Amino acid sequence: MRNLAIMICILTANPAFSQTPARGYFGAYETLEMTMNNFKYFAGEIGYRFNQKNQMRMTIMEVKLTERHLSSGWEAAAVDGNDVEGYFRGYEMHYDRFISKHWYISANLGYYNDEYNHTALDEGVENKTVTIGTGIGYTRNHLFGIKHFYLNFSIPVRYYFNHIEETKLGETTIRPHVIVNNMWLFLGYKF
C-alpha cells in the first residue's frame, strides 16, 4: 500500500501532467487488482468524458482471485483462513462528477457474480447480485510526459442487494458481503 501511495505521488507531482481533455473517449487496463491476483483474466475500464465536470465509465472485472489475496488482511480480507480461491465477474456503470481538477465523486450501478471455492474440499459459494453504490477517485493525464497516457485511481463502494452471508468452507470462513469496496488503479489512453 505504501508503494502505491509513493507511485501516485511521483506520477502526479509535475503540473505538466495535469492537462485534462475537455471531452473524449478513454480506455484503460486495471493494474492493482490484477497485480494482486497474478494477472489472471482481465480487468479494465472504458468511458467518455463529456466536459470538465462529467464523465461516464464502465468497469469490467473478470478476475481469478488467489488464496493469498483473499486471506490477506490489507488486500481483500474476504475470507478468514486458507485453502479458498475465488473468481469475480463484475460489470459496473459509473457516473463521475469532478469536484476539482483531478478529484471526482461517483455513483455506480452494477452486476457482480462472486465465487469462492475450497481448494481441497468439494465446497463453494456462488452469489449473483445487482449492486448500487458510490465512490471517490483521482485522475491525471499525460503521465511521464506521454500525451494521452492517463492514471485513474478509483475507490468504489457498493451495496449487494443479494448478500453473501457468513459461510464456513472447511475451517475457513467466507466473510459477509453486504457493503463491498475495492481499490483500482487504471492506466490507459485518452483519445
The answer to whether position 170 is within a domain reads yes
pLDDT of 32-50, one tens digit each? Answer: 999 988 898 999 999 999 9
Residue numbers of the chain with a pLDDT score lower than 70: 1-21
Domain assignment present for 9? no
Is 146 part of any domain? yes
- Listed in sequence order, the residues at least 6 apart from 166 whose beta carbon sits closer than 8 Å to its beta carbon are 173, 174, 175, 176
Instruction: Judge whether 18 lies within some domain.
Output: no
What was the pLDDT predicted at 98? 97
Cell of 65: 482471485
- Where do runs of H (alpha helix) occur along 13-72? 32-36, 67-71
Residue 143 forms part of a structural domain: yes
SS (H, E, C) 161-180: EEEECCEEECCEEECCEEEE
Q: How far is CA 39 from CA 100, 118, 177, 184, in A?
A: 33, 21, 24, 14
Check residue 62 and give its pLDDT.
95
Residue 8 lies in a domain: no
Q: What CATH number does the domain containing 71 carry? A: 2.40.160.170
User: For the CA atoms of 185, 189, 190, 191, what is the dihedral angle to 10 degrees?
Assistant: -160
* Cβ atoms 94, 56 nearer than 8 A: yes
Does 123 reside within a domain?
Answer: yes
Q: What domain range includes position 90? A: 23-190
